[in-house]
Structure 1
């Protein structure tokens, strides 16, 4: 079983199109999107429509939730008094069709997958920020005990998330009544707005090893895949809009 996970597209259509081209080579069995379809670029409707057309199971990101719940207006956006985040939200709010707004409003908060291999029941939890809240950041330097506690509370053996745009995989050794097992915490990175000083988009393919316990460090293979896309097309679209030019520079610099 091979599962593709991607997140944080942020209205970057050139990046999403390049992702779809790349994923066709990967022979995956299922695909899930962990949210933040919109914000920071000029193609929110096109992104949503591609996700819907392909029937990709998707959860809400914090930008999806915030913008989806805004009331549409056509008032002039005063870039002199709003911060960059507010400009992005107002700009996206004005572009968004009502049908696509309803789609964002009705996205689930998380997706739980349950697998049974070799007499083991494995819970995979897909969230945007964390199991606690949609906008909580889980960085790689987060203490191990905090992540394990979070996963125990949410009954997750494998926790997959985005939001920080910085990919990593932590294999967490857990001792229970003298028995050692492993949990996996996986930040899947960002398709359309990477922030790890790498300008390439990022996503993850999970592959389960049917011949090994999923609760040991050999049972799950986590492959981080980086792909090129037309950064200049995405950056120029920002510069030709009222969005702050710093969004374009961030794409060019990977931050």
Structure 2
């Protein structure tokens, strides 16, 4: 089974359209969205409706959670007063733009999705979260201490854990086996469709392949492919510049930070 997973669109409709076109070309067996449909750009309603109309199973991101409740807090970890001020403009505009039906959709999105496979007389659990299983806005960066990351996955009973939120894709393979018995777990940040922060302005999504021989005993039996795609970055950046949003957000799209 080939599964397409994408996240962190952040109201960037040109990026979402390009992402979905690329996914269609891949012809996956299943598609999931890991949240943060809105914020930081102008197409909040259009992005929500694109996901709704395609009936893509979707979980709530921290931004979706806040907007769904008409909150002025997106749960974002802004580090400076400047970032906080910019963020306040974004969430205020998003709350003003979002329509009632679209807000209700965001409010009812589930916190996580768990898919249990029965393979080789054993189970293989795929867990989809936005930040982490513990908290919707917890950042799991690539340099997270191995013991900490393993503990999070073990407590959630996750053999494969896919998440977003940091906008920086990576794949780490951890071994939680004991007494010489391997138990490989895969921690996968699937990157961002509409607001990459890894220095590459192209959008990113994931193709996860689970086959009949996939097992926690064999780390290579699960395939992970990050797909980068082009989209009309200038259209998305200019939409920001022509809106009340800070022009700095346009620069972020152009440079991928």
Do these two structures clear the TM 0.5 threshold for a shared fold by scoring above it?
Answer: yes
Contact conserved, 1:238 with 1:248, CA < 8 A, in 2? yes
Listed as ranges, the gaps of 5+ residues in structure 2 are 73-81
Counterparts of 1:240-255 in structure 2 under 5 Å? 240-255=242-257
Aligned to 2:222: 220
Q: CA deviation at 1:201?
A: 0.2
**1:110-161 Cα deviation digits (max 9, x unpaired):** 0000001111201111000001100000000001111110001011111100
Q: 1:185 aligns with which of 184, 187, 190?
A: 187
Tell me the C-alpha RMSD between the 2 structures. 1.4
Aligned to 2:120: 118
- Provide the aligned length of Structure 1 versus Structure 2: 247
Partner-residue secondary structure (3-state), 1:22: helix
Is 1:10–2:10 an aligned residue pair? Answer: yes
Q: Distance in 1 between matches of 2:22 and 2:107?
A: 29
Q: Distance in 1 between matches of 2:116 and 2:217?
A: 14
Q: Distance in 2 between matches of 1:211 and 1:125?
A: 19
Q: Distance in 2 between matches of 1:119 and 1:133?
A: 32
Q: CA deviation at 1:214?
A: 4.2
TM-score (norm 1): 0.94
Q: Distance in 2 between matches of 1:23 and 1:178?
A: 39
Aligned to 2:68: 68
Q: CA deviation at 1:176?
A: 2.2
Please say which of residues 105-114 and 18-27 is displaced more in the overlay: 18-27
Partner-residue secondary structure (3-state), 2:251: helix
Q: CA deviation at 1:180?
A: 1.4
Q: Distance in 2 between matches of 1:6 and 1:157?
A: 19
Q: CA deviation at 1:33?
A: 0.3
Please say which of residues 6-15 and 173-182 is displaced more in the overlay: 173-182
Aligned to 2:155: 153
Q: Distance in 2 between matches of 1:213 and 1:248?
A: 43
Runs of 4+ aligned structure 1 residues displaced above 4 Å come to none
Listed as ranges, the gaps of 5+ residues in structure 1 are 73-79
Partner-residue secondary structure (3-state), 2:64: helix
Partner-residue secondary structure (3-state), 1:222: strand
Q: CA deviation at 1:211?
A: 2.9
Contact conserved, 1:210 with 1:219, CA < 8 A, in 2? no
Counterparts of 1:1-255 in structure 2 under 5 Å? 1-70=1-70, 83-255=85-257
**1:195-214 Cα deviation digits (max 9, x unpaired):** 00001000001001323434
TM-score (norm 2): 0.93
